[in-house]
Amino acid sequence: MALPARVEICECWARDGIQGEGQFIPTDVKIQMIQQMVNLGFHRMEATSFSHPKLVKQFADSVDVLKGLPRRDDLTYIAIVPNQKALERLLDCCQAGYGVQEITAIISASEDHLLANLERTMAEAKPPLAKIVRQARAEGLKVIGCIGTSFGCPLSGEVPLAQVEELTDWYLEQGADYIMLGDTTGEANPLQVRRVYQRMLDKFPNVEFISHFHDTRGMGLANTLAALEQGLVYHDGSLGGIGGQPSTNRPKYHYGLSGNTCTEDILVMLDELGVATGIDTVGAIELWQRIEAVCGRELLGHTTRSGPVRHRSRQALDTTALKTGREVPPSLYLWQPDAAGSGQNHTQVAEKIIRDALDHNWPMPVDFPLEVKDLEIRAWPEQRAVLLTRFTVLEPGDTARLEALCQKSDGEVIFQGPVTVSNIA
């Protein structure tokens, strides 16, 4: 099956991501983080949970978070609504003008998991949840019907697919708009994901399914790809790869890493596959530093440290689109004293190296506007040497300022300092 040309990534950091964090993250920080996500191009975000604040203290500020969020017609905020009182609190926010567009209703396919989390059997959990779904729809909210432990349960093991099908039918009868198959504790594997979604899509061809995987066993990204290969366009992730069982006094029922599939890793994978998201992948990778500072611990993503895969851009350099502080991938230059000089002075040679280095990243005309008058030129190698040139964006704009650094392979600095490049896009 051909991959979708474009997908929607829901960023879950502000709900599923931080619900397992022991320390309370200040309200203004949560709002700032969501604002940065909006700036990066995220359109779907879990904003908060209306779980009882005595049970999950992280969301004691759910109303204040919603009050502070940026509002645009193309933004979809999602809240978790675990019970009737939570829905009533959320509807009050909606009526006051600072609500959400969608809610997530959750039930587990595993009855053991339901008992561990809610102390309810399946028969006890369904009626109140049905009322929530129907009332939310009546109030104009869309509903995501989440089926937790769809791929397995840490308490009971395998979960029959027939149970997942039955709950999907049940959710649709109540009026749910989407069905999320939740891999709550990272039990899934790619073959299973393909098999499950093939069967679910055959049985429910008109349903929008949402993939939601956890990386407990290192298969979150592979499982997301497996769902993508089945044609799913809605996928969840969490920046920094955090998330999992809420931080409460309830006993933990599984071990290992509990985080969601890392959003940055998903974005890099999708970029490499040619699947559009509309999200700034490099910006999302850079945001992990802020997230680590907020959470006070090292997070789990792979591309947060490696960066995206390098490619030469097909587009001309647009200096207005550069981001302050962002590094330009480095480039090599083979220095050969007999040939490199060719009657040119050191400044002219440095300019030639800089032009070559920038052309490694963008298709540049031979005579593109470049100024190097403030560059500090140091001693040049007397012998053949490999030079590495890198840049850091100091200031974007129609004329951008970059900090250039050229070094030998032993670290010796050849030249360093600011250069200016005029826009050619």
DSSP codes of every residue in 310-362: P---SSPP-GGG--TTPEEEEEEEEE-HHHH-TT--HHHHHHHHHHHHHHTTS
Give the pLDDT of residue 219. 96
Residue keyed to tokens 């302050």: 324
Q: Which two tokens stand for residue 214?
A: 């956890």
Give the pLDDT of residue 302. 87
- Average pLDDT of the chain to the nearest whole number: 93
The answer to whether the beta carbons of residues 102 and 94 sit under 8 Å apart is: no
Confidence of residue 12 (pLDDT cuts 50, 70, 90): very high
pLDDT higher than threshold 90 for residue 342? no
| pLDDT (tens digit per residue) in 366-384 | 889 999 999 999 988 888 9
pLDDT higher than threshold 80 for residue 245? no
Q: How far apart (Å, rounded) are the C-alpha atoms in residues 88 and 295?
A: 31
Residue 259: what are its φ and ψ, rounded to 5°?
Answer: -75, 160
Give the pLDDT of residue 22. 84
pLDDT higher than threshold 70 for residue 254? no
Confidence of residue 2 (pLDDT cuts 50, 70, 90): confident
Q: What is the DSSP letter of 16?
A: I
Tell me the average pLDDT across 56-74. Answer: 96
Give the pLDDT of residue 298. 81
Give the pLDDT of residue 283. 93
The answer to whether the beta carbons of residues 418 and 368 sit under 8 Å apart is: no
Beta bridge partners of 88: none
Give the pLDDT of residue 265. 96
Predicted TM-score of the model (pTM): 0.91
| pLDDT (tens digit per residue) in 118-174 | 889 999 999 999 999 999 999 999 999 999 999 999 889 999 999 999 999 999 999
Tell me the average pLDDT across 389-402. Answer: 96
Helices (H), ranges, 97-189: 111-118, 122-138, 161-174
| pLDDT (tens digit per residue) in 19-64 | 988 899 999 999 999 999 999 999 999 999 999 888 889 999 999 9
What the chain holds in terms of domains, given with CATH numbers, is: 8-306 (3.20.20.70), 319-422 (3.10.129.10)
Residue keyed to tokens 């509990």: 258
**Number of neighbours of residue 274 by Cβ within 10 angstroms:** 8
pLDDT higher than threshold 90 for residue 301? no
Give the pLDDT of residue 188. 97
Confidence of residue 290 (pLDDT cuts 50, 70, 90): confident
Tell me the average pLDDT across 168-188. Answer: 96
Confidence of residue 304 (pLDDT cuts 50, 70, 90): confident
